[in-house]
Structure 1
Amino acid sequence: MKLNHLVAALIASAATLWATGAALAQDYRFKLHHFLGANSPTQTETLEPWARAVEENSGGKVKIEIYPAMTLGGRPPELINQVRDGVVDLVWTANGYTPGLFPRTEVIELPFVYLNDPGAANLALHEMFETDLKPDFPGVEVMFLHVHAGHAIVMRDAEIRSPADFAGRKMRIPTRTGAWVLEALGAVPVAMPVPDLPQAMSKGVVEGALIPFEIVPALKLQEQAGQYVELADRTRLGTLSFQMSMNKARWDSLPPEIQQAFRDASGPDWLAELGRIWRGTEDGGIAMAEAAGRSHVTLTDEETAAFRTVLEPVVERWIADVSARGIDGTALVDRARDLIAKHGTE
């Protein structure tokens, strides 16, 4: 009888030690919510590698569970409030889905401030964050900011080669700066999250969009759009910025070594690599469109110069808008351009 009690005690003790060890091996669980699909390049080539890097840096103490396609509820513009309110721990979201909420960060999205290099823009955002951009992000701890490869021109069937070709056309865009671009071109901006685009294009709600090519496979856009246009040297009509952010209270509750695991996964090396990843997915998107027999056009230097002339007032409009809010827009534009040029040559 005593032996049986001893064996039972040993088994119970071993079970307790195993449970304690398992808990120590994975002490911190986080829910990461985003708006794109589970098979999108964003999840498979950005969010999953970043999450695994954090987990490895923590020695297995962190587990990040990714919830794609708004599976935890809500609409894409609600993500920022979900993380600020602590409904979720982490979000990856497009800043432009909540117009005017991130005014300083919009500088990187402006046409001919952003040109064609997402890695350089990512590093510029990183360098500007503490000195210039941080006031845009109360209630969250930003892990990193980044951009996509930029707003190319995707049309259902119309051919675009000049600003005049946009006149009166209904075009999807997710940001207010992008809407200003379309207004300057004479188009009609229609705001909507990117998952809504294929249906909107098929029903004629919009004739086209300013969007990167990388989204083509995820949305099967080659089934709806026949024309894919970019400016000379792969220049784009601005870009869209994104954030990976954690609820601030959750961040503040973490011990320094766990915070460092996140920081080490989110630094300049990652941001440069992220630029390469998004450029690579861009190439894959346009290859899919071309394989479907769609038209891919690169404008000439002269045609591109015409767009620069028409769109410079968009930058001036943004400077005036944020200056009215007490933000030195001219200084931000100059700094962003300088840093993009700097990191583009490294």
Structure 2
Amino acid sequence: MTPRFSLRTLAALAAGLAFATASQAEEVTLRIHHFLPAGAPIQAKVLEPWCQKVTKESANQIKCKIFPSMQLGGSAPQLYDQAKDGVVDMIWTIPGYTPGRFLVTELFELPFMMNTPEATSRALWEFQTKHNAAEYKEVKPLAFHMNGPGNFYTRSKPIQSLADFKGLKMRGATRQTTRMLSALGATPVGMALPAVPEALSKGVIDGALTPYEVVQSTRMHELTKFTTESDPKFNAVYAQVFVLAMNKAKYDAMSPELKKVIDANSGADLSAWIGKMIHEADAPGRKLVQQANNTIHTLPVSELQNWKKATDQLDEELVAEINKRGLNGAALLKTAKELIEKSR
């Protein structure tokens, strides 16, 4: 017997087929917001290649629009909440721009914690997802990473020892970097990176802390005359934690197939790769400093050990703060150090 279909049945089948086709052709556009200029390494070397990769692996169903320099409004410290609240779909930012909010994360920003950005970024991802997921439960983290070793840039005199910090107003990005500056003998001034060039040019600050990677975007080689870096055989004096995160509702609304693409381009490997790429971007920045004929002083291990002694109490202070939140700060610090050493 030949099956017979009513017009209503045929219409329903056609509608179902159209829906299935539309689902297969689902397109998602991710609006990515960050605080650095478009030419900064984070966009050119990380965000743009990442977008190209997810677009290709999703058969052009996932696309990106990157908005640098806070083009969608707000300030750098507001980026995390923009992702949380769905104002944007993805952000790249420094959690430490909101002091004390991501307290456990600050363990990785303590002085002399980081060995290499690549290895420490891998350890950071494992730590955050296994031991500190609660701090980021409002978003979908895609990567956590470190930047390259931080340097000290000054306008009027070089920093070669602890005594040289006296009387200097130095910019720090996060709570731990400003505390470190105070322990070293400087007067700390907290501010986000976009405000640094103007503060230097107007003499509001005498110097700043940044890695070589952002020299070009901040004109650090033009605004300062002296750079102090540390011996690479010793752990970095300081480094900062960064997060690449997605709005949870945006992720949850994706099809299972597109979620797999995002998941395949997230995690420990992505975190380590970003750390590596950002560290590689330090070399061109250092070259700019050299071409400007600025003085570069490399701190020897013997002097770095003095700096470590001067800042050791910051570990104890942060552990005590974490304890007040009902967590075991000492155990978390021990775990962080073990993961960093394991990833070396």
Q: TM-score, normalised by structure 1?
A: 0.89
1:254 matched to 2:254: yes
Aligned equivalents of 1:302 and 1:172: distance in 2? Answer: 25
Note the 1:160-309 alignment, pairs <5 A.
160-233=159-232, 235-309=235-309
Distance across 2 between alignment mates of 1:28 and 1:257: 12
Matched residues in 1 for 2:197 and 2:335: separation?
Answer: 37
Alignment partners' CA distance in 2, 1:90 and 1:81 = 11
Offset, 1:275 = 2.3
Contact 1:104 1:132 in 2 (8 A): no
Deviation at 1:266, TM superposition (A): 2.0
Q: With structure 2 as the length reference, what TM-score do the two structures score?
A: 0.90
Residue in structure 2 matched with residue 334 of structure 1 by the alignment: 334
Work out the number of aligned pairs and report it: 325
Superposition pairs of residues 1-346 of structure 1, within 5 angstroms: 25=25, 27-114=27-114, 116-233=115-232, 235-344=235-344
Alpha-carbon distance in structure 1 between the residues aligned to 2:87 and 2:99: 21
CA distance in 2, matches of 1:273, 1:119: 7
SS at match of 2:232: helix
Structure 1 stretches of at least 4 aligned residues deviating more than 6 Å after TM superposition: 20-23
Give the whole-Å Cα distance in 2 for the aligned partners of 1:187 and 1:258: 49
For the aligned residue pairs, the C-alpha RMSD in angstroms reads 1.8
- For 2:45 and 2:219, locate their aligned partners in 1 and report how far apart those are by CA, in whole Å: 18
2: CA distance, partners of 1:224 / 1:261: 43
Q: Measure, in 1, the Cα distance between the counterparts of 2:46 and 2:222.
A: 25
Query: Shift in Å at residue 21 of structure 1?
Result: 8.0
Q: Which amino acid in 1 is paired with 2:270?
A: W
Deviates more, 1:228-237 or 1:33-42: 228-237
- The offset of 1:150, in angstroms, is 2.9
SS in 2 for 1:233: coil
> Which residue in 2 is equivalent to 1:8?
none
1 CA distance for matches of 2:167 and 2:23? 60
Instruction: Provide Cα deviations, 1:112-159, integer angstroms capped at 9, x if missing partner.
Output: 222x41011110011112221111113211111111113211112321
Distance in 1, matches of 2:121 and 2:62, equals 26
Instruction: Provide structure 2 residue ranges, at least 5 long, that are not aligned to the other structure.
Output: 1-19
Structure-2 separation of matches of 1:213 and 1:198: 15
For residues 123 and 133 of structure 1, the distance between their equivalents in structure 2, rounded to whole angstroms, comes to 14
